[in-house]
Amino acid sequence: MFLIKCPFCGERAETEFSYGGEAGINRPLDPDALSDVEWADYLFMRKNPRGAHKELWNHAQGCRRWFGVERDTVSYRISRSFELPAGDKGP
């Protein structure tokens, strides 16, 4: 188990959180205009890098808010947690 720092509640055990996927993926403005291949690409294709990565997390058993985390996928070291920009409420 590792600790995640919620920007609203402070440091808590990872079991209080739900992973929301890669950060920075914007929903298409007109999903109906996408082909099946383009829609599948939006839904399923992720970078999955080895090393530094920005992710979305939800404090499911706490404040229930979405926030961002910069984490190393090899060492699990979290370099920072941050509030999402105004208007971005997570996935």
Q: Determine, yes or no, domain membership for 60.
A: yes
pLDDT on residue 89: 66
Q: Determine, yes or no, domain membership for 20.
A: yes
Which letter, b or e, does each residue of 20-35 get, where b requires 16 or more Cβ atoms within 10 Å of its Cβ?
Answer: bebbeeeeeeeeeeee
Residue 68: which domain range? 1-24+48-91
pLDDT on residue 25: 87
Looking at the structure of the chain, the number of domains it has is: 1
Q: Determine, yes or no, domain membership for 1.
A: yes
Task: Tally the residues of the chain.
Answer: 91
Q: Determine, yes or no, domain membership for 4.
A: yes
pLDDT on residue 49: 87
If we measure between CA atoms, which residue out of 5, 18, 16, 13 comes closest to residue 69? 5
Question: Does the model's pTM come out above 0.85?
Answer: no
pLDDT on residue 40: 94
Q: Determine, yes or no, domain membership for 83.
A: yes
Q: Determine, yes or no, domain membership for 30.
A: no
Q: What is the CATH number of the domain that holds 72?
A: 3.30.2270.10
pLDDT on residue 9: 97
Which residue numbers in the chain have pLDDT < 70? 87-91
